[in-house]
Amino acid sequence: MGEIRNFKSGNQDGPPPDGPPPPPHGAMPRRLAAIIVGDIASYSRLMQADEEGTHVRVKRIERDLIQPSIVEHHGSLVKTTGDGFIAIFDSPVEAVRCSIVIQQNLIGRNASLAKDSRIEYRIGVNLGDVIVEPDDVYGDGVNIATRIEGIAAPGQVYISGAIYEQIKHKVVCGYESLGDRKVKNITDPVRVYRVLPDADAVGRTRSRRENALIFLLGLMLLIMAGGVLWSLLPHTPGGTSEQAATPAASPSASPIPPPPPREATTHTPQPSPSLASAPPPPAPSPSPSVAPVREPEMIAIRGGSFAMGSNDDPTERPVHQVTIKPFSIGKYPVTVQEWNECAAAKGCGFTATGKDDAPVSNVSWTDAQQYAAWLAQATKKPYRLLSEAEWEYAARGGTQSKYWWGDKLQPGMAGCKDCGDLSAEQPAKVGSFKPNPFGLYDMGGGIDQWVEDCWHRTYQGAPSDGSAWNSGDCSSHVLRSGSWKNDSRYVRTTNRDGYDTNVRYPTHGFRVALSP
């Protein structure tokens, strides 16, 4: 971001005693930027109910979520406003991704809270020309972002048409057009879109509308068909059918033959009127053989003891001895193709995009658990996520160095931002780099990988038997490996991080384990 990376840092040498010289006339610093404006819904009510508690919670969210997310997406926090914030970005794509991450993280944080005590942000995003000052930004671009935020629903991200045109083919999400909106103090109407973080939500939204139209159309056709049928029936002037109006036959009249007797049949429910014209269902036939489930390629690990952790980071301490039991581990992270078989079987919550042989991404820990549970049920084998200890033991491949290949970064060994891999928007396909001594690919770089364990800031009290550490606060779970968007320090075999359990993020994937 260059010179505007930190708006609040100012001049490190400080202004001269009599203050900074005024800028030359007409030289206001302007730039084109993507602007995020966020504001807390029902802030006054929350403050009235618990002033000190709400203030502490808001500051914690700003410190732990909003500021790190802005930095992670290469933006700059311009200012916080007590109940909101303003940030600017060079990239509209990163601005929208940051907004989605903030909202999805807040869903996880609010999950256990009563509805009336949740802190929910409305977020508006716009692209515009702005005037940049050390601690603020001005201009219609900011005003439009503010107005869009004002009409957004709590927990939602609304974007302008200018942003939409820049990101519509670049961000994995859906969009719902809300049409042109007249906003306060802005002359021209603004085209507004609602962001749907789950791309499948677009299909669901359209499906609901299409189903409603189909229902109404079917109802109209049914009414029309009923009218035609009624008009074809014979009627007497009295309005009753001829047969019903015929008096009882005299003895000389020819008797009406009774209807032929019906064979006894089992009553079958009739289809609903809207389906009456559909052909009858075919007679049941023998069940065809079900195609076998595609199982990930697994590698058996014999187990053993090793020193887990390092002194390179406080979260990796203390170094402690762990004994691992034999298990099998996926040779590669779970791929898009493997995931989508689960989605097609309704075992996983969304259909992944990308090439079949790329690692599936943008999955939450809960999503990863769904896949493991579906695979275990479909194959009758005990598939699961790895424990954190199993992951590190497998990633080391019997070594004790910083990376499995040694202590120095080498090109062609892993996919990361400074590992020599040129892929910027997508992770490389699985198996693109060399395997470690255990024959495992992408155990470092490529895709962040969820493991079973709840997140703890250190290893103090961690199990020594290789099992998952599932005690404590499990609102976050552990990620290992680092991704193609991280630099090489994240690729170290000991590196670890935590992330909200129910939140999807574009660099997060996983691999599976199999108990003996």
Can you give the pLDDT at residue 286? 46
Torsion sign across C-alpha atoms 160, 162, 167, 168: positive
**Residue spans in the chain of domains classed CATH 3.90.1580.10:** 298-514
The CATH class of the 28-201 domain is alpha beta
pTM for the whole structure: 0.52
Can you give the pLDDT at residue 484? 87
Residue 227, φ and ψ in degrees, nearest 5: -65, -40
Enter the tokens of residue 223: 């009414």
CB-based burial label for 427 (10 Å; 0-12, 13-18, 19+) = buried
Can you give the pLDDT at residue 291? 64
**Residue spans in the chain of domains classed CATH 3.30.70.1230:** 28-201
| Cα separations in angstroms, 225 against 219, 222, 274, 275, 374 | 10, 5, 10, 13, 46
Quote the DSSP letter at residue 472.
S
Can you give the pLDDT at residue 46? 93
Which positions ≥6 away from 1 have C-beta within 8 Å?
74, 75, 76, 90
Strand residue runs (E) in 41-173: 75-80, 84-89, 121-133, 136-138, 157-160
**Do the Cβ atoms of 375 and 293 come closer than 8 Å?**
yes
Count of Cβ atoms closer than 10 Å to residue 224 Cβ: 10
Helix pair 365-379, 336-344: axis angle to 10 deg: 70
The H-or-E segment that residue 477 falls in is strand 476-480
Enter the tokens of residue 151: 């009409």
pLDDT string in tens for the chain (516-residue length): 333 333 333 333 444 444 445 444 455 678 899 999 999 999 999 999 999 989 999 999 999 899 999 998 999 999 998 899 999 999 999 999 999 999 988 987 888 788 889 999 999 999 999 998 888 899 989 999 999 999 999 999 999 999 999 998 777 678 888 988 887 777 788 999 999 865 444 444 444 545 555 666 667 677 776 666 666 666 544 444 434 333 344 444 444 444 444 443 334 344 333 333 344 444 444 444 456 788 999 999 998 999 999 998 899 999 999 999 999 999 999 999 999 999 999 999 899 988 999 999 989 999 999 999 999 999 999 999 999 999 999 999 999 989 988 888 787 788 887 777 554 566 888 988 899 999 999 999 899 999 999 999 999 999 999 999 999 888 889 999 988 888 888 889 999 999 888 888 888 999 999 998
Contacts 24+ apart (CB under 8 A), 115-121: 116/45, 116/49, 117/46, 117/49, 117/50, 119/40, 119/46, 119/54, 119/57, 119/58, 119/61, 120/40, 120/41, 120/42, 120/154, 120/155, 121/38, 121/39, 121/40, 121/41, 121/84, 121/154, 121/155
The CATH class of the 298-514 domain is alpha beta
Instruction: Give the whole-angstrom CA distance, residue 57 versus residue 263.
Output: 75
